[in-house]
Structures are given as C-alpha cells and as structure tokens.
Amino acid sequence: MSEVVNVLDTVLLSVTSGPPIAQSLTIGGTDATGADATNDLTRLFLEAFDRIRTVSPNLAVRFHENTPPEFTLKVMDAVRRGAMMALFNDAVIVPGMEHKAVPLGEARDYAIVGCVEPTTTGGTFASTDSNLVNIARCLELALYNGDGLDFLADWKYLARRMGPYTLPRRGAPGGRWPHYKMLLRYFAGMGRRLRIPYRELYTMFRGRGIGPRTGDPRGFKSIDDLISAYRKQVAHAVARMGEAMQYCDRALAELKPTPFISSTIDDCVERGQDVTWGGARHNFTGPQAVGLADVADSLAAVKKLVFDEGKVRMEELAAALTNNFAGAEPLRQMLLTRAPKYGNDDDEADQMAKKAAAIYCEEVSRLTNYRGGKYAPGIYGMSAHLAFGIFTGATPDGRKKGEPLAAGVSPRRGRELKGPTAVMSSVSKVDSVKVTNGYVLNMTFDPALMAGDRNLEKFAALNRAFFKQGGLHVQHNVVSANQLRKAQQDPENYAGLVVRVAGYSALFTQLDRVTQDDIILRTAHGCDR
C-alpha cells in the first residue's frame, strides 16, 4: 500500500498538499448484524500500524457503544504516541448510510474510503472526493449581490498570494514556476485543444455576476434575509457544480472505463456495466463544502452586531469589507471580539454552523448524478481551505481578504478559546446524519497533556463523550508547535515525522511551506507546567 502513489495535475497541488495516497483500511466497528466486530486481527492491525508509523494506509477506527474499553485505550495510547489515525462514530454514520437508502445490514458493515468518506464494502462507486464548494465564497456573493473579488484590478495581489505555491520548472534545475504562471500556461494549452469560453473567464476574474442577483444587502431587514440570499448562492454554486460533474462523469465513462475494478464491485458483472456507467449496486457522488466556520462566525456577527444590537450599519460593514478593512480596524476588532465564535460551545454561533451546513447538505442532496445515483455531501477540503482563502474576499467575522478559510468542521484557528470540550460540543451540534460523505475535525494536543495513565483515560473519555453527543469523526495531532518548527528548520533529522493534514496523514517535511505553517498555527490544547 505504501508504494502506491497517485499522480496529480500540477494545477491541483495547492488543494491536495501531501498529496494523500488514499489507500484506506478500516478496523473495529460492527458486523452486518450489529455485533461487535473487534477481534484478534483488529488488534494485530493496530499494533502493526502503531509500530510502523507509516502515512499509508490511512487507518480508520470505528467505535460504537459496545466497543471493548481495553481496545479503546489501546487506540488512544497509540494516538498519543504519534500513530496517526482517524476515529469514527457508528452511532451517526450507520443512520447516515440509511439516510441515503443503504440497507441496514450493509450500513452496519461500512468502511472508510480515502479520507473520511463512509461507504459500503464492495458494492458502491461513491466518487467520494468529486468536487469542492467554497461556501464562504457563497456568503461573500450574498453580501455583494452576486459579485465577488475583481482579480484583474488587483492582479499583483493574486500573484503575491499564489507565490508560495511554486512548481518545478522543466529544463531549469532548481528553477521554480510561480503557480499563477502555471495556471496561465494551463489555460493557454487547454485553449488550443478545446473551445474555452474566454469571455466567461474574463467575467469570472473580474468578479461580475458570478452568482445570482439576490438583493442589495443594505436593504436586508433581518438575518433571515441574508441567510435566504446565502441559500440562493449555495444553490446556484451547487447546481453549477452538478452540471460540471455531469460532463466529468460522462468523460470518465466514455474514455476511462475501469473493467478490473468493476469486476470486484457487486452487481457490475451481473448487469454487464462498468462502474463508471452505473453498474455498482450503489452510486453516489461526494462533493465537499469548505469554509463552514467562516460562514458561521460571519452570520453570527451580522446577526448580533447589525440586526440585534444595531452597533454596526450594513452600509458601514459593506464598505469595510469592500476595502478589506482599510481604515476600519476598530470595526474589525469589534467583529473579532464582540461577536460569538463557533468552537466555544456558544449556541448563537453554533446554530449558524448547523444552519449553514444543513443548507449545503440539502442543496447537494437534491442532485442526481450521471450514473443515476444521488449526491452525498461532505465537509472537508484537504488543504483547499488555504488556496480557497486566496480567492475569497474579506468576511464579516473579521477575516481579511486572502487569509485561509477554516478547515473541515473545525473552528477557525485561534478562535476556540474554551478548550477541547467546547470545540467538540460545538461540532456535535452540526447534524452529522445529513453529512453523508463525512467531515473532518482536527484536534491538536501538546504531548505533555497526554502523559500518564490517568490522562490516557481522560483522553479516551473525551472522545467517547464527543461520539455520545453526535460527533461523526475526529483526528488528533499530538505534537508540539516547537517540534514542528524544528522540523521546518532541520528536515533531514525529522524525515519520519508524520502529521494529520486533513483526513489523511503525510510526512511533515514533504508538505509545502504554506501547509506546514497552517498545521503549526492550529490551536494546540495543552496545560501550564
């Protein structure tokens, strides 16, 4: 498994840092009858993975109410010592599988594909990482009546922000191509082969009419008006995504059928159909939302400061966002410090996260894919939250233009001020059953917090409580920021340091600098010594 390396288009590297190898192994959980499936082989897999500390396969561990306590402690002990794995909750994933019409027996016997995507074993073509939707951008469009950033007016900004994403320059040893130049070369090359709608591309880069006209926000009378505009922008973006996926799936079916894989998937042989044509018993398409916490914090800030308390006028907010808070730092600080933030067990912000996630899930679930199956919404983005932030303007939560978006269902880094229990309580309010393609919650702990048997038991109890509240997934980096900084400075001596990036693991020293910095800056829960 560790020798399988996927080949990615260079244009995609900014959203797939690592890159993930996507070979996944699932242990624990239940069998088709609902009985505990943990056995000696389960423990052998865990022990082997703990010893090797490899980035592949991507190890997923399922938990349910009858998971043996000693097995739970073994998993938590491996995690606190640096074995990178993802933890999943049968109590919400099985109902989620049933929610997308999978029979109960197959739902109970699910496995994880790729990063965090639940699917049936041997009977599904799920296309689990099919696309990414920037819902923070959708909120931006709602605040600008369908318009967005004008990149042509400020092309130097775009070049500067994309600068860290450099690529090897062919024929020039040690030379690098800036990523934006590679994008231009990509479009030029495609233009010689396909009919590219350059007028639409021009309009897109000018930021005009990207979304539907949903009303001048200065005329909004309540937060419900803004949420309604946001829903319409999400619906438009999701519909466009669905149209694009129709073309992609048709191209795969006509040009890249997979007869060998099809022979291993239930019902393809009986139907005489390749998986790309819909031969599998179950067919899904799984696009991911990016920027949930940004939307939640922004909606919470507008509700509280604009509509509830009247401390900020919508005209004032719109002007500040347009100018990226230039000359409006007091307003920005008010948005940062006086408004509730998702990740602190604050219902005002958490309910906005629940609503924003539900809107995305509802719109995605309306779609039917090329193979006749349904769409399954997820909330994660590998490292896309970094690149997507570059293309998203300033937002009402106080985030400036170009800053990274939040990752998965995790809060924005630095805003979770009440500890790990508050983070997990906030995340558990998102309706996990509707997020049928999975989500990612990243947690980082200082190793000092994990020392000793008593702290191991607390760590296990923390995760059990999260799952009891309705959490779907969680993964932990137990590493200090100081150690990561040393690895940046001396990569040769830290070549084996493995970290969780999104729903996958990677060697820290092989990540690009932007992703390394993002991992270092994640809030690390610790204690004073």
Q: What is the pLDDT of residues 25-59, one digit of tens each?
A: 999 999 999 999 999 999 999 999 999 888 788 89
Residues taking part in catalysis:
115, 117
Q: What is the pLDDT of residue 529?
A: 39
- Kindly list the distances between the CA atom of residue 154 and the CA atoms of 14, 140, 159, 160, 409, in Å, as whole numbers in the listed order: 21, 18, 9, 10, 31
**372/187: higher pLDDT:** 372
Kindly report the average pLDDT of the chain as a whole number: 89
Q: What is the pLDDT of residue 191?
A: 62
Q: What is the pLDDT of residue 13?
A: 61
What is the band of 528 on the pLDDT scale with cuts at 50, 70, 90?
Answer: very low
Question: Which stretch of DSSP H or E encloses residue 520?
Answer: helix 513-521
Ranges of beta strands (E only) in 272-399 are 282-285, 287-290, 374-375, 378-379
Are 102 and 282 in contact, with CB atoms under 8 Å apart?
Answer: yes
Mean pLDDT of 426-430: 98
Q: What is the pLDDT of residue 152?
A: 78
SS3 309: coil
Q: What is the pLDDT of residue 514?
A: 80
pLDDT tens, residue by residue, 137-164: 999 999 999 998 887 777 777 767 766 6
> Does residue 265 register a pLDDT over 80?
yes
* Rounded Cα–Cα distance for residues 347 and 324 (Å): 28
pLDDT tens, residue by residue, 217-240: 999 999 999 999 999 999 999 999
Q: What is the pLDDT of residue 82?
A: 87
Tokens 């689990």 sit at which residue?
A: 128
* Rounded Cα–Cα distance for residues 223 and 339 (Å): 14
Q: What is the pLDDT of residue 19?
A: 56
**154/179: higher pLDDT:** 154
Q: What letter does residue 61 receive in the DSSP assignment?
A: E
Are 56 and 18 in contact, with CB atoms under 8 Å apart?
Answer: no
Query: Which segment, 17-31, 187-201, 426-440, is predicted with the most confidence on average?
Result: 426-440
Q: What is the pLDDT of residue 480?
A: 83
Q: What is the pLDDT of residue 498?
A: 82
Mean pLDDT of 82-86: 90
Q: What is the pLDDT of residue 220?
A: 96
Q: What is the pLDDT of residue 12?
A: 63
Are 99 and 255 in contact, with CB atoms under 8 Å apart?
Answer: no
Mean pLDDT of 316-342: 96
What is the band of 426 on the pLDDT scale with cuts at 50, 70, 90?
Answer: very high
What's the CA dihedral at 419, 293, 498, 417 to 10 degrees? -20
Least confident stretch, 12-16, 261-265, 310-314: 12-16
* Rounded Cα–Cα distance for residues 61 and 71 (Å): 10
User: Residue 252 contacts by C-beta under 8 Å, 6 or more apart in sequence?
Assistant: 276
